Amino acid sequence: MNWLETLRRNKAMDPITAALYIVPAGIIVLIFRMIPIASAFVLSFFDVKMGRVRGFIGLAHYVRLFQDPTFFNSLGTTAYYVIGVVPASLFLSLFLAVLLNQKIKGLGFYRTIYFLPVVTSLVAISMVWKWIFHPRLGLLNFVFEKLGGNSLLWLEEPRGIFEMAAGGLGWEWWPEALSGPSLALVAVVIVAIWRGIGYNIVIFLAGLQNIPDQYYEAARIDGANTRGVFWRVTWPLLSPTTFYVMLSTTIVSFQVFTQIYLMTGPPVGGPMGTTKVIVYYLFEKGFDAGGNMGYASAVALILFGIILTLTLIQRRVVESRVYY
């Protein structure tokens, strides 16, 4: 029996074979994804404290949720975090991927160095960066002082960066609504960008290497310079990769927790609660504040709805500009 006959025989069993391959993954998705989501949805309508269901309360958790100013503050803090991480990650990872796509010496070494933070324990990374940001013993303030600058409190500073900038210019008053994210949150954003950039570089490199060389040759024959080649060839053909990176980075950024907990951590989520993102708020309500899992489940479903809505908006608005 030659390979063609084998292929034809296997083709007749494709539906059964496909089902058998799908079943293990389907079981994992069902147990670890679908059932927990369904359970959270059900629990959000019950009074559940310390693992005990005390009764059905309907929409009471949702009503309480939308009356809690701390919830909206955590949403605002999360928005600051996402706005800080996503654009910077996209720009820096694309820039570095273009550089690493060149024929230079030690290319494998550079790629490995950039990817190392991705495979390093997030707990270890958070602890090291917490020391780097230390106001008295930290490496960053040491460098600033050697360069003639002033040391900063970093993870202990509750003031917004725009308010701090205004104070540095001698302005005695600045509107609180425009104070911006706290310096502590900016420090966490820096760590998130540094850690995630290696993964995005790998994705962009894959996209760059899938662009056929003849497009570049045709552009150069037509007289396009390096900038023109990037904007007319590389950028449009890289749009599917860019769209994926933007989508995945946005989703991951909304779920940030570990860095916040370890670097600015308990009891209130950073200085004066200025790093309390929505997942930290969820954790606090579900585990720290009496273990109200019903209320925490309601927060989780609201977060799920926000991420789903933003994903659909991104697909509707941005995907129309993607060249496949």
Cα–Cα distance measured from residue 100 to residue 108, given in angstroms and rounded to the nearest whole number: 9
Cα–Cα distance measured from residue 211 to residue 209, given in angstroms and rounded to the nearest whole number: 5
pTM for this model (two decimals):
0.89
Cα–Cα distance measured from residue 179 to residue 210, given in angstroms and rounded to the nearest whole number: 44
Amino acid letter, residue 158: P
* pLDDT < 50 regions, the chain: 1, 7
Domains for the chain: give ranges and CATH numbers: 15-61 (no CATH), 68-321 (1.10.3720.10)
Say what percent of the chain tops pLDDT 70: 95
For 181, counting Cβ atoms within 10 Å of its Cβ (0-12 exposed, 13-18 middle, 19+ buried), the class is buried
pLDDT of amino acid 131: 93
SS3 55: strand
Contact 17, 7 (CB under 8 A): no
Contact 46, 295 (CB under 8 A): no
DSSP string, 93-122: HHHHHHHHTS--TTHHHHHHHHHHHHHS-H
Torsion (CA) 119, 123, 126, 132 in degrees, nearest 10: -90
Query: C-alpha distances in angstroms, 281 versus 54, 256, 287, 308?
Result: 22, 11, 10, 19
pLDDT tens by residue, 53-79: 888 898 999 999 999 999 999 999 999
